[in-house]
Amino acid sequence: MSKIGLDHPDHWLNLEYTKNLSQTVMSFFREKYFRVEMHGLENIPEERPVLLIQNHSGMGMPWDAAMFVDYIFQAKNYERKWLVRGFAEPWFFKIPFFNQWGPRFGMYPAKWDSFPNLLNNNELVLYYPEGVPGIGKGWHKRYQLQEFHASFLKFAIQHKAVIVPTVCIGAEITHPFAFNWNWGAKLIGIPFLPLSPFLLSLLPFITNIPFSLPVKLIYYVGKPIDVSQINTENWKKKDWQKYVDENFKKPMQNMLDIGKRKYWFSKEEERKEVANELCGEIEPKPPTLKIDLERKIRVSEVHFEPFIFKTYHKILMHLPWMWISILMDHWNHYLKPRNIIIYEERRKDTEKPRHYYRVFGKWESIFFLLPFTWIVPISVHLRKLMKTEPLVPLEKKGKMTVSETKK
């Protein structure tokens, strides 16, 4: 098992955790809650790197991205090369629990150096050209693409990556009648702040933040576009933007307009006709053998006992404010001190180490069941954060993980 650097895309990735999360927690959302349907998956080339671009929507939790990544990973038998690497705003990685939970299943901060790192590693990358204005555009602009950033085209040409346009139908309705409160977002320091009648549920249950209506999500994957032969020697900024608008934004807007017509009360046969128009005629390929080719190259990767999705978990999944608690149960199972040490924090008044991923104990999960009692565990957690110093990865301290000490 070779050690890789902190800047490597696979450093924080944990395939075993991602696979088990997909088979337990995410399977509920994929199969029952959102009833995900994807057309044109065969359009994604086998060769890497590949850049997937998609419309962004939802006015809240990016369920369109989560379901897209999870569906492809499970549809391809959890092979490493089919794990889609997505981006998130840098502020997302400052949120407790999420800052360690996200990178474990492939999330990457949306920075200028993120694209080269992933494309140089021959990854399958998901990018939203609209950025934050796409997911935070509001209910009155649903299914209207916002301005595309031309940066993805520059990186695709530079790294000879194939671009595959995709659209998601249904994500606009996950949080309906919402609008962006710009002043409140700037005051808090977040990219956008959605307001809607559904946010009244946050009053008794603050953990209802990832709430979404159980709408059906339909994805259409278009034909791949090779941009490696484009001559951009004398192009200016307006030339880049014009090419992106004519060759990517307008065709994707047309895909959205056609796809949304056959969304409400449509039959499967009707959606297949739409898929033939948007994705092209696709010949079915013979099934391939399921071969486990996962690379064991991460220091932090060891074998775990799989997390069992218990009966009470299946019941609580129907309560949106319990979703975070269930994710914490799954997270704590994989990060028990006897298995692995990821982060360490020290009290200012003592040298005794404590593990940051122990956000909530099992006994505290019951607080999420009752209104207003969420204040107790969150207050306890915030009090702990106030007494601790900033977290530093163990690799930077020159220490060894448990998996290394057992050798």
Which among 231, 263, 279 is the end of a domain? Answer: 279
Cβ–Cβ < 8 Å for 228, 167: no
| CA Rg value for the chain | 22
Within this chain, do residues 366 and 275 fall inside the same structural domain, yes or no? no
Residue 365 belongs to a domain: yes
**Residues paired with residue 167 on neighbouring β-strands, in sequence order:** 220
Cβ–Cβ < 8 Å for 380, 363: no
- The predicted pLDDT at position 388 comes to 46
Within this chain, do residues 271 and 320 fall inside the same structural domain, yes or no? no
Give the relative orientation of helices 15-23 and 63-75 as an angle to the nearest 10 degrees: 100
* Pairing of the two strands 343-346 and 392-393: antiparallel
Q: How many angstroms separate the Cα of 294 from the Cα of each of 15, 78, 88, 121?
A: 8, 9, 25, 15
Within this chain, do residues 204 and 66 fall inside the same structural domain, yes or no? yes
Within this chain, do residues 76 and 163 fall inside the same structural domain, yes or no? yes
Determine the 3-state secondary structure of 27 from DSSP: helix
- The predicted pLDDT at position 11 comes to 73
Closest CA to 4 of 297, 295, 296: 297
Residue 219 belongs to a domain: yes
Show the DSSP H helices in 360-401 as ranges: 375-386, 394-397
Residue 299 belongs to a domain: no
Cβ–Cβ < 8 Å for 132, 19: no
Residue 294 belongs to a domain: no
Cα separation, 125 vs 103, whole angstroms: 14
Residue 296 belongs to a domain: no
Only one residue has tokens 């934004």, namely 249
**Residues paired with residue 346 on neighbouring β-strands, in sequence order:** 353
* Pairing of the two strands 194-195 and 218-221: unpaired
- The predicted pLDDT at position 241 comes to 93
Token pair belonging to 176: 């309906």
What are the φ and ψ backbone dihedral angles of 235, each rounded to 5 degrees? -75, 140
pLDDT digits (tens, 9 = 90+) for 192-237: 888 888 777 776 666 677 778 899 999 999 999 999 888 888 899 9
Which among 279, 298, 320 is the end of a domain? Answer: 279
Cβ–Cβ < 8 Å for 122, 50: no
Cα separation, 29 vs 22, whole angstroms: 10
Closest CA to 340 of 385, 403, 291: 403
Q: Around Cβ 405, how many Cβ atoms within 10 Å?
A: 9
* Pairing of the two strands 124-127 and 50-54: parallel
Within this chain, do residues 326 and 274 fall inside the same structural domain, yes or no? no
Residue 171 belongs to a domain: yes
Within this chain, do residues 254 and 331 fall inside the same structural domain, yes or no? no
H or E element: which one contains 86? strand 84-88
Residue 238 belongs to a domain: yes
234: containing domain: 15-279
Cα separation, 155 vs 166, whole angstroms: 18
Cα separation, 35 vs 28, whole angstroms: 9
Cβ–Cβ < 8 Å for 231, 239: no
Token pair belonging to 199: 């946010």
Cβ–Cβ < 8 Å for 80, 295: yes
Residue 65 belongs to a domain: yes
Cα separation, 5 vs 236, whole angstroms: 36
Within this chain, do residues 118 and 241 fall inside the same structural domain, yes or no? yes
- The predicted pLDDT at position 148 comes to 95
Q: How many angstroms separate the Cα of 50 from the Cα of each of 125, 227, 277, 283?
A: 6, 11, 23, 21
Within this chain, do residues 219 and 265 fall inside the same structural domain, yes or no? yes
State the greatest distance between any 2 C-alpha atoms of the chain, in Å, as a whole number.
67
Cβ–Cβ < 8 Å for 73, 18: yes
Q: What is the pLDDT along the chain (407 residues), one digit of tens a residue?
A: 445 555 677 777 888 888 888 998 899 999 999 999 999 999 999 998 999 999 999 888 889 999 999 999 999 999 999 999 988 877 777 766 677 677 888 888 888 878 888 888 889 999 999 988 899 898 999 999 999 999 999 999 999 999 999 999 999 999 888 888 888 888 877 788 888 887 777 766 666 777 788 999 999 999 999 998 888 888 999 999 999 999 999 999 999 999 999 898 888 889 999 999 999 754 444 433 333 333 333 333 344 567 777 777 788 788 887 787 777 777 767 655 433 333 333 333 344 443 333 444 444 555 566 666 656 655 665 555 444 444 333 333 344 433 344 44
- The predicted pLDDT at position 381 comes to 54
Instruction: Report the CATH number that the domain containing residue 32 is assigned in CATH.
Output: 3.40.1130
Closest CA to 53 of 124, 105, 109: 124
Within this chain, do residues 330 and 252 fall inside the same structural domain, yes or no? no
Within this chain, do residues 74 and 161 fall inside the same structural domain, yes or no? yes
Q: Domain count of the chain? A: 2
**Residues paired with residue 345 on neighbouring β-strands, in sequence order:** 354
Within this chain, do residues 43 and 186 fall inside the same structural domain, yes or no? yes
Token pair belonging to 88: 């998130």
Closest CA to 240 of 54, 252, 249: 249
